[in-house]
C-alpha cells in the first residue's frame, strides 16, 4: 500500500510567479486539475494566462 511517500515522484510545473511557486513547493503538480478561486481583481485570469 502506498502512503503518499512512496511510488512515482510528482513533477512540478512552475507558475512563473516565484512567491507562488515557493508556497506550492515548486509549482503545480503535473497532470493535476487545480481550481483557482479568489475575489475580483485577485489575479485569477492573469495566472491562467
Q: Is the pLDDT reported for residue 49 higher than 80? A: no
In a domain, 2, yes or no: no
C-beta neighbour count of 11 within 10 angstroms: 11
State the residue range of the domain holding 22. 15-27+34-48
pLDDT at residue number 4: 60
- Bridge partners of 27, per DSSP, are none
Separation of alpha carbons 47 and 17, rounded Å = 8
pTM over 0.75: no
DSSP 9-28: PPPEE--S-HHHHHHTTSSE
The pLDDT tens digits for 11-43 are: 999 988 899 999 999 999 999 999 999 999 998
Question: How many structural domains comprise the chain?
Answer: 1
pLDDT at residue number 24: 92
Q: Which of 41, 35, 38, 31 is nearest to 10 (CA)?
A: 31
Please report where in the chains the cell 500500500 appears, as a residue: 1
In a domain, 3, yes or no: no
pLDDT at residue number 40: 97
Amino acid at each position: 500500500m502506498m502512503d503518499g511517500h512512496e511510488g512515482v515522484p510528482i513533477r512540478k510545473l512552475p507558475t512563473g510567479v516565484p512567491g507562488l511557486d515557493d508556497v506550492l513547493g515548486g509549482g503545480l503538480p503535473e497532470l493535476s486539475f487545480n481550481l483557482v478561486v479568489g475575489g475580483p481583481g485577485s489575479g485569477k485570469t492573469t495566472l491562467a494566462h
